[in-house]
Amino acid sequence: MALSEHASCAIGDEVREALAEGKAVVALETTLLVHGLPADEAATLGEQLEAVVRAGGAVPATVGMIDGVAVVGLATAEVRRLIERREQVAKLSTRDLGFAAAARRDGATTVAATISLASAVGVRVMATGGIGGVHLGAKETFDESADLVALARTEALVVASGVKSILDVPATLERLDTLGVPVAGYRTDRFPGFYVRDSGCAVAWMVASPAEAAAAFLNHVGFGGKGMLLANPVPERSEMDPAVHAQVLADGLHDAMEAGISGADVTPFLLSHFAEKTEGTSVSSNVALVLDNAGVAAQVAVAISASGLGN
Ligand code: PSU
Ligand code: MN
């Protein structure tokens, strides 16, 4: 996708240089920092994520919107501004970009908006915690994250620990199948369940190394495919107790229903419920898994750029 002259998207200097030199770049989203985690954790995590990407040999490109300008490669101070002013910062999915730009808003980008912007400037690898998916009760509400269709139409390899456990995991996998988005387990044949390593669902494909992931993605794109999900489970030592997880989840879903929470507010509501009820354990597994995903994404981006077939 090329951006038209009406859409302004700025590229950070370091990202621009890296792209010109064919160096590996990894896109990072801001919704998880601004609307998914408590502010204290988020500020540190934003910087840690960039450091992990660099340690893996790639250049980080954190994506968001500042005063209506979409930016691929935000400066540290800009990421901080989004985190600090979170109340005024919009959660931007693909449908929101144009309106937020016209209104000169500050915005944090979801996976959908992040891959759309990143791929438009030539960055195809992205890391996050968990992608959005089909919500429980979607049969009545039709609540399915735009992340899924964005993956279907955007050339992007997203490294994530599955989808948040607060979603309907089997339905999400069915939708990805329908949309032609391959899901590969990174060194596992189980689909991860975000805070836990096994969601109870299997994956069709498994890769054992960053090079294998890169080869699968490049071949997928070669056959006309677009997005791909590389599912990397939370590191073992940071996994949440699966029994605690199941209980907190059931309570949270009940509370959300009672409070009449719907649409884009469901994810932030349940994530903060988890943080509160597990006294931060969910936050530390969330942080650990996102960092691990950033490291894997950097290695895959390096393997893709080494292939000479672009970023
Ligand atoms: N993963 C997290 N925390 C988050 C999200 C993902 O660990 O806050 C965000 C991502 O930005 C994802 C979005 O794209 O939630 C999905 O929101 P929705 O279901 O409204 O599309
Ligand atoms: Mn939704």
Average pLDDT of the chain, as a whole number: 94
Cα radius of gyration (the chain): 18
More confident residue, 230 or 280: 230
The Å distance, Cα 112 to ligand 1 centre, comes to: 9
By residue range, what is the domain housing residue 207?
A: 132-306
pLDDT at 96: 98
More confident residue, 6 or 198: 198
Length of the chain: 311
Q: What is the pLDDT of residues 55-77, one digit of tens each?
A: 999 999 999 999 999 999 999 99
Q: Which amino acid is at 76?
A: T
Q: H or E segment at 21? A: none
In this prediction, residues 230-236 reach a mean pLDDT of 98
**22 and 114 share one domain:** yes
pLDDT at 5: 65
Residue 289 CA: nearest ligand 1 atom is 7
Ligand 1 pocket test: which of 28, 65, 147 has the largest number of ligand atoms within 8 Å of its C-beta? 147
The residues facing 193 across adjacent strands are 162, 196
In this prediction, residues 149-156 reach a mean pLDDT of 98
pLDDT at 63: 98
Q: Is residue 193 a contact partner of residue 200, using CB atoms and an 8 Å limit? A: yes
**84 and 172 share one domain:** no
From the candidates 41, 50, 91, 164, which is the catalytic residue?
164
Asked if the structure places residue 165 within a domain, the reply is yes
CB neighbour burial string for 262-281, b if at least 16 within 10 angstroms, e if fewer = eebebbbbbbbbbbebbeeb
Q: Is residue 127 a contact partner of residue 10, using CB atoms and an 8 Å limit? A: no
Cα separation, 81 vs 75, whole angstroms: 10
Asked if the structure places residue 72 within a domain, the reply is yes
Q: Is 29 a catalytic residue?
A: yes
The Å distance, Cα 144 to ligand 2 centre, comes to: 5
**264 and 197 share one domain:** yes
Q: Among residues 123, 146, 175, which one ends one of the domains?
A: 123
In this prediction, residues 235-259 reach a mean pLDDT of 93
Report whether pLDDT(1) > 90. Answer: no
Asked if the structure places residue 3 within a domain, the reply is yes
**113 and 176 share one domain:** no
**37 and 147 share one domain:** no
- Range scoring the smallest mean pLDDT among 5-9, 258-262, 287-291: 5-9
Question: Which residue's alpha carbon is at the smallest distance from atom 17 of ligand 1?
Answer: 132
- Range scoring the smallest mean pLDDT among 103-107, 234-238, 248-252: 248-252
Q: Among residues 90, 123, 156, which one ends one of the domains?
A: 123
pTM greater than 0.75: yes
The Å distance, Cα 18 to ligand 2 centre, comes to: 34
**104 and 42 share one domain:** yes
In this prediction, residues 114-126 reach a mean pLDDT of 98
Asked if the structure places residue 86 within a domain, the reply is yes
Place of tokens 């070669």: 222
Cα separation, 187 vs 207, whole angstroms: 6
Q: Among residues 74, 101, 123, which one ends one of the domains?
A: 123
**202 and 118 share one domain:** no
Q: What is the pLDDT of residues 261-286, one digit of tens each?
A: 977 787 788 888 998 999 889 999 99
Report whether pLDDT(159) > 80. Answer: yes
pLDDT at 267: 77
Cα separation, 264 vs 256, whole angstroms: 12
The residues facing 202 across adjacent strands are 190
Asked if the structure places residue 311 within a domain, the reply is no
Q: Report in angstroms the alpha-carbon separations of 89 from 43, 65, 122.
A: 15, 9, 26
The residues facing 206 across adjacent strands are 185
Provide the pLDDT confidence category of residue 193 given band limits of 50, 70 and 90.
very high
The ligand 1 site (C-beta within 6 Å) comprises 29, 31-32, 35-36, 93, 110-112, 128-132, 145-147, 164, 264, 267, 271, 286
Alpha helices in 121-241 (DSSP H): 138-141, 146-153, 169-178, 210-222
pLDDT at 6: 65
Q: Is 17 a catalytic residue?
A: no
DSSP string spanning 218-287? Answer: HHHHHTT---EEEE-PPPGGGPPPHHHHHHHHHHHHHHHHHTT--GGGHHHHHHHHHHHHTTTHHHHHHH
pLDDT at 14: 98
**13 and 148 share one domain:** no
